[in-house]
Chain A
Amino acid sequence: MSKLRSVARAGPLVALLFFGAPAGAAVQHRFALIAGNDQGGADTQPLRYAAEDARKVHAVLTQLGGVAPTDAVLVLNQSADELWRALGGMEARLAEAKQRGERTVFILYYSGHAKDGDLRLGESRIRLEDMKARLSAAPADIRIGVFDSCRSGIVNRTKGARRAPAFAIEAAGSEETRGLVLLSAASADEDAQESDEIGGSYFSHYLVSGLRGDADQSRDRRVTLSEAYAYAYARTVADTAESAAGAQHPTFSYDLKGNADLVLTDIASRREGIYVPANAPAGIYYLVDANGFIAAEVQKAIDGDRQIALPAGRYRVRRRLADRLRIGDIHIATGQLVTLDETSLHDAAFSDDPVKGVHREPGAQISVSLGGTVQAFFDGPTRDGLFPPTGMVGLDVEVRDFFRRGWLWGLDLAGGGTHAQLDRYGTLLPFQFNELTAGTTLAAEWRLSQGSLDAFTGVRLALVVMSRKFDERTIPDQFFATFTPGLVAGLRYHLSRDFTFLVRGRVHYLLYNVDEDRSLGYWELNAGIAYDF
């Protein structure tokens, strides 16, 4: 479809709003405040992808949405005060732009918990109505609010929210558009759902995927607000229809003066991505990033082409047929638009699906870590003469969200030893001390600041087998074995999507009962690198 047809359909102000302005018209300046928070405080389960969704929206708006990186603020896993503070800063910048005579667009995106009319940011809260009022009063010509949270449709309730597949902003006249648009991921009585397969919430995933080009129904290489919403609505409803929570229906409302649709992303402005030509087979193409998550989707119609804007990198293309997959690799170089060649794809079994976690039980996640442990008893005489401080190396396997969301269950095995000596009435007796431990841990885990740091605390039960062999051969080898209960706490820092750095502290109780009954305690400090499957 030609650019002229698109403009004729969407209205002449589309061009004015986004791509510059004719003589006399003001320049449009876009600002974005994007917030994501995985934690919702008490009585909520941690979300897995809220912060990640915010990152994706931030990326697509700064890459394709005309928002300069300096005009985009990303607030991840911060409190309500921090979000208010960021919003205040943004309002000040909007006011300055307005004073300069610029036309301004302000996009507020929030992904996280919402409950009982509140946005939940960790233990802090923001009344949704307060946020809406603040957004409505923001000194921008166009204010767009996107709320991807449970029951976020309440934001539209007072304005008569619509659960409709699309809305249309009629193009008529030349009046510049001003006003407020609110989108929500779910209606006022629905949960906003996440998916491990797509690595995000349904709504945000399809919103981003649509903005990258798949929502370009008019095929003018520009994705308007109504196109993006229509696409996200349709895909969200379709994908959640069979879910246990039931179908999720995004809603919208708007209060606009002027008649023009809003172009949100310009695919043509960034010739970097993948082009699916018209002669490619119809169907859904999944573009899987190097980490195994779906970066974007392409709903290829029989007679249409598609252009998807993606950052440079390596991607795997997957198309699912009834009996097999079609898979191929593409490499998008910087500034390169790669045309998908169907002949470069090959058949593959479903078991070779490159999408990470596609066969995984929802929420369950396994990680394996290798690390070192230092152990010492609190009691000095015990430490000096009975069980000496010991270094160990070990392997940990952890399963998250297995028993319930936010819980981790771990199994660990470690072994090590040291050389020490026993002082018996002035007689020094050297010995080799060895230890083997096997433990199981049940802990609660939650995310800390910026989404890259997790904390956990819980209980652990360990089987400890300690032995020593004296250099003095007349003394027989000795061993002691027992179960020891303990507490564990630690931090997990995400080095990348797959690797994390772990630090654990443990405190255990040990009943020693050979010479006499003694209640002892020991601590362990463990550090390691974990790989998340």
Chain B
Amino acid sequence: MISKPHAIQVLLLPLICAFGASACGNYSNDDVDFELALPDQNDIEAKTQLTVTRPDSAEYYVDTQSAITTFNSMATTLLGFIDHVRGYPPSQRNGNQRVWGPFPSDHYPSWQIQVVMVRAIVSDTLQMAYHADLRPVGQGDSAWVSLLVGSYTSQAGAVPSQGTVSFLAQTVRAAGYPIDDDPGVVNLDHLDVTYQNVTYPITVTMTIQNLPTAQTQSGQYNYAEQQDGSGSMDFTWQGTTDTNVQGSAEMNSRWLGSGAGRADLVFTPSSSGAATTLGTDCWGVDTVASYSYRLNITPTTSPDTCLF
């Protein structure tokens, strides 16, 4: 990433550039459109009302928190690649196109990064398409490969937006970029995110497609957030279990604005297609299970204690 300028640079820069040129700066209304088109952590982040865990917290509550942490971690990784754009003026302004870079990659100086954004206004709706590209230093324009591809649509209101962004790990891996140095993406083929915060419920969907060699072949997170703080997170994984059974595991977790919630784990073997509920946990605001069900184990409390 590029380091932020010091305060003294911020003060001196306008003076230096004004004396060096007739006019200079990044004061632009158009640039605002481009800046707004980029998703930030708030757009993609999943949030729960309860964030603490304790030794006696419900197991599925802990699993939900873990899934949300993973989800947000992947979102952070994704957004890190477009931080080159956020906070810096474009290198080129060509009408409805802005280009940032090429910048040298901080981690891999032999590679360059550039971000290209194209704006279109359709029926008073602002639409953006962007891609973040990589290429080895010294290569021509044809060597650019996209690591990120995204789009954005803005509706009237207070910065609401909806968009998509895809992280194309396998594409840059094939081009020679050492993306596998990050252990979190070793098995990743690509990751697609769709988000919208125009109306409630705010939704973020993250679809993960791993390489064929991975034990877990694909996964999907569906996050929803209501205005009162209640929400849900469904995460589904396709793959092979430790006992070598092919199928999908789906955990459906939802909670109230108070944080109390419920999660159900369902496994569907590919062979039969018959879903089996493996377990259910309900928890209160203390995160401790008020009801817990596991396959073949008799619950000690009544499911009536569950809020859902």
Residues of A within 8 A of B (CB): 385-386, 422, 424-429, 463, 465-468, 470, 472, 474-483, 511-515
Contacts and interface: CB of A to CB of B under 8 A. Distances in A.
B158 A479 contact: no
Given A422-B32, A424-B126, A465-B14, A511 B156 contact: no
B124 A467 contact: no
Given A427-B157, A476-B26, 13 more contacts: A386-B27, A427-B159, A463-B15, A465-B15, A475-B32, A476-B86, A477-B10, A480-B25, A481-B15, A483-B22, A514-B25, A514-B93, A515-B31
Nearest to A472: B159
7 contacts: A425-B125, A426-B156, A427-B154, A467-B27, A479-B27, A482-B25, A515-B28
A428 B86 CA distance: 20
A516 B87 CA distance: 21
A386 to B, nearest CB: 6
A405 to B, nearest CB: 32
B115 to A, nearest CB: 14
A463 B40 contact: no
B158 A511 contact: no
A385 B27 CA distance: 11
A514 B26 contact: yes
B23 A513 contact: yes
Given A424-B36, A474-B36, A474-B38, A511 B27 contact: no
Given A425-B121, A426-B156, A427-B158, A479 B25 contact: yes
A512 B23 CA distance: 7
Contact of B23 (A422, A476, A477, A481): A481
Contacts of B14: 465, 467, 479-481
Contacts, number: 107
B40 A482 contact: no
A424 B31 CA distance: 11
Instruction: Return the 8 tightest CB-CB contacts between A and B, nearest first.
Output: A426-B156, A480-B27, A482-B23, A480-B25, A481-B18, A481-B14, A478-B27, A476-B87
By size class, the interface of chain B is: 35 or more
Contact of B25 (A425, A427, A478): A478
Contacts of A385: 29
Contacts of B245: none
Contact of B35 (A428, A475, A512): A475
Contacts of B87: 476
A482 B125 contact: no
Nearest to B39: A474
Nearest to B125: A425
A309 B246 CA distance: 120
Contacts of B32: 422, 424, 429, 470, 475
B106 interface: no
Given A425-B121, A426-B157, A427-B158, A482 B18 contact: yes
B198 to A, nearest CB: 11
B214 interface: no
Contact of B29 (A386, A479, A511): A386
A465 B27 CA distance: 10
A512 B28 CA distance: 10
Given A427-B159, A474-B40, A482-B23, A514 B15 contact: no
Nearest to B27: A480
B156 A427 contact: yes
B293 to A, nearest CB: 44
| Residue from A429, A466, A514 with most neighbouring chain B CB atoms (10 Å) | A514
Nearest to B95: A516
B180 interface: no
Nearest to A426: B156
B158 A480 contact: no
B24 interface: yes
B159 A429 contact: yes
A479 B36 contact: no
Contacts of A477: 10
Nearest to A436: B14
A315 B296 CA distance: 112
Interface in B141-170: 154-160
A515 B13 CA distance: 19
Interface in B85-119: 86-89, 93
Nearest to A512: B23
Contacts of B93: 514-515
A478 B22 contact: no
Contacts of B88: 476
B63 interface: no
Contacts of B155: 426
Nearest to A430: B158
Contacts of B40: 474
